[in-house]
A and B are shown apart, each in its own frame.
Chain A
Amino acid sequence: MDIMTTAPAIRIERAEKRYGGAAGFVAVSDVSLTVAPGSIHGLLGPNGAGKTTTLKMLLGLVRPSGGTFEILGEAAGPGVRARVGFLPEQPYFSPLLTAAEVLMLHGRLSGMIPSEVSSRTGELLARVGLEGREKTRLEKYSRGMLQRVGIAQALIASPDVVVFDEPASGLDPMGQRDVRNLMIALAGEGTTVLLSSHQLSEVEAICDEVTILNRGRVVAEGSIDDLLNVAGRTSVRARGTAPALPADVQSLMEDVAVSGGVWVFSVPDSAVRAVIDILDDNGWAIESVVPKRQSLEDYFGRMLEEPVHSTGAQVMSR
């Protein structure tokens, strides 16, 4: 585990993928990404942004046109991939195999011996909600159940790094919650999770850091808090019976929302103390005072509207 503490779990430097030669289509350009050990890192972007291509280059499924790829401090070749689990988007397995046979295949490909795979199969299927389904052929599985088998195969060899491409795809809300909890539990056990997802709420809820791609380039990266907190403004939540907030507060507030006597609004950081005092003096109950934060959805939408610079510079703005 020494290496886990000294090297990033995943490091991608200036990744590039071109199709059709120098004048061809550029799918990924100058993408760099560092994922800390034991963290959950989100990879976001619209369709065609280059997320899956980047993951495929990392995992040897697509030959990069340029860049360096490292996993656990080693060049991302087949050897180190024994310590990586990968869930492709919408995984599909031979319908004539059973879940146990799929796990046996993937376990053995990761260097496990058959008895190890067998002893882990039941535990793992239970963990993904498929207890007692070892011997059922996959032709009898629903879409969501196949997704769960996909997650199980990614975890069969107790990998140090897991790469999930749209893990909630095909799952019902309860299944999505289970997957979210699973990823949090994995990170808690020290496993690094790289998550590519369209589900912004999922990413916002569980990721420590995110990288946003658009048109093959990184347009933003950083911790969720850094990206979403609005500089210089604080969000206040207050409850009262009066039909309106005091006039002194009204002159400072923005982004107001009211529901059932609860007011949520933002004020400049410098005015927070004064606003709290005014509300307090007028009999309002202060429910929360937190840094103002925009939703990831709003942030994401705004990022995608901004032009992508030809230099590929990483945008860190809020």
Chain B
Amino acid sequence: MPASQLAKFGPLLAIIVLTLLAAVVLSFSALATVAACWRQAAVPQLLELEDSSSAGPRQRFLQHNDTAESGQLALYALDSTLPFSSLTAWPLSEGVGPAAPFYASPQPFDSNYDGVVDHLFSIDFTGRVWLTGITAAGFGSTLLLADLASREWRFIGSLGVFEVSLPLLLRPSGLQGRHKLLLLIARNISNGEDAIVSLRLPADITAASLLRFDTLVDRSVLSATEREYGLSNEQWFSLLNGAGWWARLSGQLTQPPQVVAGVIYSAVATSDFSALECATEHAEHSLVAMHLHSAGLVYNQRRFLLASGVGKLTLQLQPDGTAALILNSVTEQHTALTELVSLSPDCLECTAPLRLDQFPRWLKLATYRQETGAH
């Protein structure tokens, strides 16, 4: 290229190169210094863990820390400031290596109902999910369950691990009656929008195959047929046979979503947010209610307008025994949704009014005769 042409296009080239450089720096800085709403403070969790050296369980503090931008777990005795066990090397798709930072708190799980925690689900920023055995003596073996690495989503929170028992009518043939659900919160790195990701883990987790983001069903938009006639049996069975689903919330979560009687309720801000700025209470807000198992409709619509963004979503017992969701703050209360329903196992679309006056609810699990001195 002649020097004269280079001089002619020089400023243009410089602008393009500088713009690209700025975009790269911006995207990296967005990840390096994320807004406060991306990450909650890493609060230590007090866990009851099995201790083989004593008769009862033993209490330990679990802390998830980031060291040199890689996630690690550490266990502390109650009277010590030094960890006695830490986990820094994680099994990856290829080999062993460091985890990305942990924005989501690890989820403790009691797999055998003995009252003590025996497993941890850890989720790193890029969407890798591990299952780790844990006792009072330290961390056990770790298994990589999912690698949800995606170009635009980062994983910033978890709603917990739920154990599901499917009624016979709603169970696809060949599927076990029980499985686990791991609900995660993902955030879009370009626009700051949130999504709920539901991972279905089989009852025998150790035999599970590695879950990928592209195997999840996108339930962000419901088809017109589904809106009118509901989910078909084929869609339901295919959803339950799959690895899980994910759904955009078309907004930024302003508080952790809650699962009430099989329905996920999420309060989101639908304006005035970006990847770098958190939504404020002055933005427009709405409430998203979706089916726990399918992300489908439970009410006649999934999205309801919220009058305010102030306050915590709280259940309220109505005088007639039914339930309502309100936004509760020190100064004011706004009703978000009344006549809440509970999923009913009788059919796919069945719901029943949620009655809070039935609590405490009792269920007789078994009655048995004690044989003493039999001969």
Answer yes or no: are A and B bound together in one complex: no
